[in-house]
Amino acid sequence: MSRDLVVALSGGIGGAKLALGLSHVVAPEDLLIVANTGDDFEHLGLSVSPDIDTLTYTLAGLDNQVLGWGRRDETWSFMETLESLGGPTWFRLGDRDLALHVERTRRLRGGETLSAITADVARRWGVGPRIVPMSDDAVRTRVLSDGGWIDFQDYFVGQQCRPVVRELAFAGAEAAVAHPDVLAALASPGLKAVVICPSNPFISVEPILAVPGIRAAIAGCGVPVIAISPIIGGKAVKGPTAKMMGELGLEVSAAGVAARYGSLISHYMLDHEDAGAVVAQRACQAPTLMRTLQDKIALARAVLAAVA
């Protein structure tokens, strides 16, 4: 059993960057990445798991660094043809990305679990650390805007985060069973730290925390729990985090995110740009903007040093 286990909670792009950094400084058997599945949805009859896939692509070195999302060496023949058929093209699926969705859907229909499929894909593509979905049960993030409740991907991709967010809900979360390996890792005597990656707290981290047992397991784990701010100088590095905070009536700042996590976290990693922020947790500082692989590894080292 691992004696230096790190459990990382992650959404997609931002979280995957730190997860990649962690994978370079933590032994594969000592790193368990809990992936948000609240963004998952059915599209064109296929089961799409955006955050799991971003993590898998990133850790396998298969991520598309030109687009900043999706697969490396991607081609778009499917999408072009779907368009010529008048099919739904609002969600872009590359030809290689599509293979993962088709194969996952086929295996899910055959009775395999999302976690088993995720583990097998990771193994085939040479990913070292484990990527574990928060639950094998469906949890679906929903967004309440002025027009009523909409599905997350409709908000996020379909309407490009334009609607004002009044409330978020994680449909299915109450009945979902946390993946047993996540709870086991959080209860493990070998646990060294819990890392909440610089993902959007509302739509990437809180769906994970909404699965019964996970928040309590983190709260009671007895080791440092560190979150890395997704806000730098009052702005989100990527995505709707800052906009969403404002709409939800929160202070749009690194400190606002820390306040949102509250006593769940013991440590909070800020960018040097936010050095003056007052937070209730033990504050640590490092360059948190991850452009290069070196940036990611350096931040991972800083995170682990902060909780050592």
Min dist. Cβ of residue 98 to a copy of itself (A): 6
- What residue type is assigned to position 216 of the chain? A
Task: Give the whole-angstrom CA distance, residue 262 versus residue 209.
Answer: 13
Residues of span 231-270 touching a copy of itself by CB under 8 A: none
| 3-state secondary structure at position 295 | helix
Pick the closer one to a copy of itself by CB: 125 or 149. Answer: 125
Q: Sketch the per residue contact string, 40 through 59, with a copy of itself: x for CB under 8 A, - otherwise.
A: ----xxx-------------
Residues of span 115-144 touching a copy of itself by CB under 8 A: 120-121, 124-125
Min dist. Cβ of residue 271 to a copy of itself (A): 37
Min dist. Cβ of residue 115 to a copy of itself (A): 16
Q: Which of 3, 29, 61, 75 binds a copy of itself (CB under 8 A)?
A: 75
Candidate segments 85-93, 142-150, 247-255, 261-269, binder of a copy of itself by CB under 8 A: 85-93
Min dist. Cβ of residue 82 to a copy of itself (A): 4
Q: Is 109 in the site for a copy of itself (CB under 8 A)?
A: yes
Candidate segments 95-103, 224-232, 256-264, 298-306, binder of a copy of itself by CB under 8 A: 95-103
Give yes or no for a contact between 211 and 139, defined as CB atoms under 8 angstroms apart.
yes
DSSP 178: B
Q: Which two tokens stand for residue 195?
A: 């890392």
Task: Please classify residue 64 by burial: count the beta carbons closer than 10 Å to its beta carbon, then call 0-12 exposed, 13-18 middle and 19+ buried.
Answer: middle
Whole-number Cα distances in Å, 58 to 63, 256, 281: 5, 28, 30
Q: Which of 2, 4, 92, 102 binds a copy of itself (CB under 8 A)?
A: 102
Q: Is 82 in the site for a copy of itself (CB under 8 A)?
A: yes
Task: Give the whole-angstrom CA distance, residue 242 versus residue 119.
Answer: 33
Min dist. Cβ of residue 79 to a copy of itself (A): 8
Residues 6+ positions from 51 with CB-CB distance below 8 Å: 10, 11, 12, 15, 16, 35, 36, 37, 39, 40, 204
Min dist. Cβ of residue 151 to a copy of itself (A): 17
Min dist. Cβ of residue 160 to a copy of itself (A): 23
Q: Which of 11, 15, 94, 240 binds a copy of itself (CB under 8 A)?
A: 94
Sign of CA dihedral 135, 140, 143, 148: negative
What HEC string does 44-80 produce?
CCEEECHHHHHHHHHHHCCECCCCCCCECCCCCHHHH
* CA atoms within 13 Å, Cβ hemisphere of 272: 5
Binding positions for a copy of itself, rule: CB under 8 A? 44-46, 71, 73-75, 77-82, 84-88, 94-96, 98-100, 102-103, 105-106, 109, 120-121, 124-125
